[in-house]
Structure 1
Amino acid sequence: MDWASLGGIALALIGILIGESLGGGRISSLLQPSAFIIVTFGTFGAVLLQSRPANFRNGFSKLKSVFTEPEDQRTTLALDISQWSLIVRKEGVLKLESYMNEASDPFVKKILRLVIDGAPPQTIKEVGANDLYQYELHERNAIKVWDSAGGYAPTIGILAAVMGLIHVMENLSDPTLLGSGIAVAFVSTIYGVGLANLLFIPIANKLKTLLQLEVSKYEMVVESLASIAYGEHTKVIEDRLSGYLL
Structure 2
Amino acid sequence: MNLNFNKNLLPICAVASLLVIGAVDLFAFGGAYGGFAFGLGYFPQQDRTLGRVQIAADSNYDGFLNSSDTEASDNVKRNPPGLIVGTRELARVDLSVIHNTALQTNGSPDLKFLYYKTAAILDLRPVNLGHKRGRFPSYEEEQSRSGRVRVWLDTNRTTLLLDSADPSKRRVEWPAASSLPPKHVYVEGVSVGDSGTVMMLTLLLDNNNLSPVADKLWGEKAAWDAMMFSVWPSPKTKPFIDKSPVWKRF
Q: Which of the five TM-score ranges fits, normalised by the shorter chain?
A: under 0.3
Q: TM-score, normalised by structure 2?
A: 0.24
Computing the radius of gyration from Cα coordinates, the structure with the larger value is 1
Query: Which structure's relative contact order is higher, taking Cα pairs within 8 Å and 6+ residues apart?
Result: 1
- Which structure has the highest strand share of the two? 2
- Which structure has the highest helix share of the two? 1
Q: TM-score, normalised by structure 1?
A: 0.24
